[in-house]
Structure formats: structure tokens, C-alpha cells
Structure 1
């Protein structure tokens, strides 16, 4: 009988140069608040995102904007701004973007970073200017920034082990890597290799770069299928729908895959009655909302740990239909972090208590 792993508790320049950068980065801005006069008594929150090329990042930004807009309506913030680097996870572009944002004097800067090390000088510049910096979705090499992230070891573990158990611990697999060059992907790939080492009957037939994006993974996997005679599973980071399409296009049966946690993938999994070790697991795009609440609590001088680990989104078959029923096709499952739930999770991290389990939303968005 196939068994699934037991879920563990979650662990814990010159003025001219800067002006030029401001002009450059202005064209990269994807969103800002509606025109509103800043309230000097309320903070201005800025978010810098180093990569926008997959649905997870797009959901992450959408969730932040929804929460920030409501926070503005509720009088908690004066305004907010989101800027997305236009390139392919380029640290150089994100550094320029952050320098431009700093010219606008935000009270807090949230960062989904393109690199764990390259942003260190500009983050230090922000901290020296009195800006509260919260980095999320990745660790960062910075002493002054607060960090909120998911456990990438857990993400990689639950992307691989149920699948490997589902194929009986033997056979051929393809490994689809994520955003290569980022700290999370490096940690996840190392974990995947370690887990594969525990299954001597499993051979890695190919490794591709799927970028945690179904369309990218579909193309990458399709490119290697002609050279692989048999594939029993594809270990990915939430790109299984695209992987499944690659096999269908090649006229091959769909193996066990790591599905995206979006509505399209979950409904495909449901409608095709797939029960072969497939699972849906990704980090939580709702981290951006939790980071907003963290920044506000820090600005209010509340006690918040310097490093916090929040839960990933794991969708097993028992919860698949509930999530599938509330998500739009391109929307990714995100925990609905209210300010109250955020503070409960902070307390759990501080005391070593049981982590908060937010409810599955009952309506999309």
C-alpha cells in the first residue's frame, strides 16, 4: 500500500544617477494605488518584485494589491506601490528598481528578491535611510532585513516523496527545476537530489528548467521526451499541468506529476481522476500579505521575530476538490492571512506552538 509522508510541524550614487534610475524604473512599475493624497500620519508601503514571469508571482502581486487597497481604505496606510523587474530574475534590474523606490521615501519596503546576496548593499542603503525592510519568499544575506518565508525543504520534500512512493520507489523520473539562480530553487534542488538518493531504484532520466511555470515546463519536458523511452514521474515545483500537456502532445500516458496549486491544474487533476502519487504543492503566494502585516506591526514597534517560517500550501487529494471549487484557472492557492491570523502565527513562532492553519477560502479571490 502506498503511504504518504507525515506532515511535520513548520519550522521555525549621485543625485543624477539616482534620478536616471528613477526614470528607468518608472517604466517597470506594474501597479500603484489610485490617485490619493498621502496621509502623513500613515505609512507608505512599497513592494519590489524581482521576477513576474509565472502565475505564482502574478497571484502573489494580486493578493498583495487586494490587501493593500483594503488597508488603504481602512486608514492603515496612506498609499502603496508595486514595481516588478521586467527581466528574467535579474538582480541588476531589481537593484535599480529599489534605488528608484527609495527616492520616493517609503516607510517600509517589501522585497521578493532575485538573489540572496546581490541585493545586500541596496538593502543596507534602505535600512540606513530608516526604511523598514521585509524580505519574503527567500532568505537574504542582510543583517538589517526581516525575513518571512516558507520552508523550501518541505516544499521539495512533499513534491517528491509522495510521487516516488506512488510509483513504487522505482522507475525513471524527470526533474523539472524552478527559477534557477534563486535561493529557494537552490535549496529545493539540493533537497530533491538528497531524496532521490534514498531511492536507489529510481533513475533521473533528464533534468530540465521549468521555472515553476506550466507553459515553460511543457516546452522543456516535450524537448526531452523523444530521448527518454519511459517516464514514470516528473518531480517539479508546481508545473504539472504543463508537464501533463507535454505527455499528451507526445502521445504518451501522463505519469505522476507535481501539479500547480492553481484552479486549472487542480480541476484537470480532479476531472481526469488521477490517483498515481500526484500531489499539488507550492509556497504560499499569500506571503506578500503576511509581509504587509509584518511591516505594519514593525512600524508600530511590535515584537516580531527577525526570521519567520510560514506554512507552504500542500493540496492533497482529500482537499483538492475544495480548492478547485474556489480558484480561477490562473489563480494559485493562497492562505488568506488576515492581520489577526498573522499575529497568531507570530505567536506560534515565538512560543514554538502549533502553527496556524488558515481556512481554505470559500470564494475565489
Structure 2
């Protein structure tokens, strides 16, 4: 019988019963660059921390276990993870990519990966017939679900079937739901990406990224690449993510509770014209996310009636922080137009639904009533100054 997710966030079963690390409950930080060898041809199992480090290795095993993968690579950021993954493709390869992606991913694909000869087609993978975009050179489908920031939900199992039928990789960025709520590998995906900075770390205090797979051939390629490029996560940052993961389940449940509360409240506000949250029954992806995930997450996107009101909200919030990130214990509000998607051309942003009136909330673990009270005060002040 498999252990529960909360237990697996805390314990690596394969190490239990050993006397390693002097019995330390908190896994030690092996803050070393290199390792001594007893003699030629003998090793402690570690040679140089660019290749592997015990703290990083322990973290990788925890994350692989949470996602149901056989291997996980911990990298210096989410973008480092995506950049490394793109190195398994070669000039002339074509990828079908979800149109509504994090702006940093689009920036990488359009300005770096394309320069290296990789071709991208941006497609609404939640609605469009993805098979119509498959070419002879197509090698992979790359999605986020839910997407950033418009919360589009794609059917992972359906896309996995298409991928396998056409001998393609299915790559899923699972940052928004984390392995606590969703496991794409178990639905047929080949590779899962995470910005570990977000929900896995959960405290807005470090950067990290992960690539998880259950395919040995992909793992071998990625292990060679991480050794060669040196993009691995440092020991102390690995420990910070390990510490964050211990409370992943508690944080995800609490933040989701606040998101549901706020989404329902926002729908009733006159200043708000649209609320996009996959946990709302009217969301077009509601039934799909219920089928493939164990929760809806804590990300809300909403539109207000004017750009001026959007800017006023960002200026007036106090406890809720106007900042560019998500997944931490503190509630953050983000303005995609000038932050996460600033490098995406305006016509593409607007085509995807991102306007000057669009705001994104990452709900934290505060008391939900306090979050509502703050927004209620902000909205009231805006009404009084109009």
C-alpha cells in the first residue's frame, strides 16, 4: 500500500532504518563543492557537487516520489529547468505549445530556443484540435494546466493519447497545482516541469526548478545535460525546498480554501467583470480538472471594469502584496501586463485574454476573512474616489 502524500512529503521510505547522518531529523546540508576519495578507483558515491550532492539528491528523490516519477532533477530555477529540457531537442524539431503560457517560457522559446533552430506553434490546447498542428518534424506537446494566467484547463489524458499515437513527448508544467493536487505522469505525460520557487518551496525565499520523468531514456539525456551545463540546485537551496515540501499539503489545502472563498466573493463585486477560477462550476474546464486532479489550486485571475481601477487596486493593497510570484504563504497580487507577460506582444496578450484590466491573485494561508476585509476596503476606497 502506497503511503499518503503528506507522509511522502516528510519521509523517504528507502532511507528509513539507516543510521546515516547521525540520526538528524532535518536532512543535513552538505555544503561542499568536492569530495575526498579513499584511493584511485574508489569513491564515496559523490565526486563533485555539480554532478551530485547528498542534499540535492535527497530532494530529487522526494519530488520524484511525489510525482510518481523514477527520476527528478533539481535545478537553479524553473526557467533553468525549461532551458535544460529544450536541450534534448535539435535544430529542425517542432513543438506544439499551449498559447497561454507563463511569459518567461514564451520569451525563452521565441528568443533562445528558436535561435537554436527549434520551431514552435502556439495552440489553445484546451480547445483546439491539437492533431491538426502535428507535422513530420513535431517532437512534443508542451502545456501548462491550469495555464498562467488565464486558467485554461487541458485534458492531460487526451493529450497523452494523441502524443503516444504520434510518437511525441507530452510535457506538462505542473507548477500551478503541484504534485499534491495533480500528477501528470500518472495520466500519461512523459515529463513534468515545476518552478520549485512556487508551491514546493512555498515561502518566497528561494529559487528552484524541477524536471521529473518516468522514462529512463529521457532521464539519461537530462543527467548528462545537467552535469555538462552546471545548472543544478545548490545544497542550501535544496534544503530550503526540502523544508518547504514538509508542509506542502497543509499549505495547499489552506490556500485553496481561501481561493474558493475569494473567488465566490469577487463574483459579487460590482467593480469585477470576470472571475476565472477552475474551482467554479461555471469554469469551462471544471469537469476536466475534477477528473484529473485532486483539487483546484489557489490561483485566481479576475478582470475589473477599467485599467484605472486595476492600477488603483495594486497601489492600495497593503497586507496583500503587489509582487511577481505565486505559491507562497503570503497572498500576492500580480499585474500580468507589466510583470509576468510584459515580454509577450500586446496583440498576443489580448488574443489570450490578458488585458490592462486583468489581475492575478495567488492566495496564501492568511485568515480568509482578513483577505476579504482588505479587498473590501480597497474596493470601497476606489468607489469613493470615482
For normalisation by structure 2, the TM-score amounts to: 0.32
For normalisation by structure 1, the TM-score amounts to: 0.34
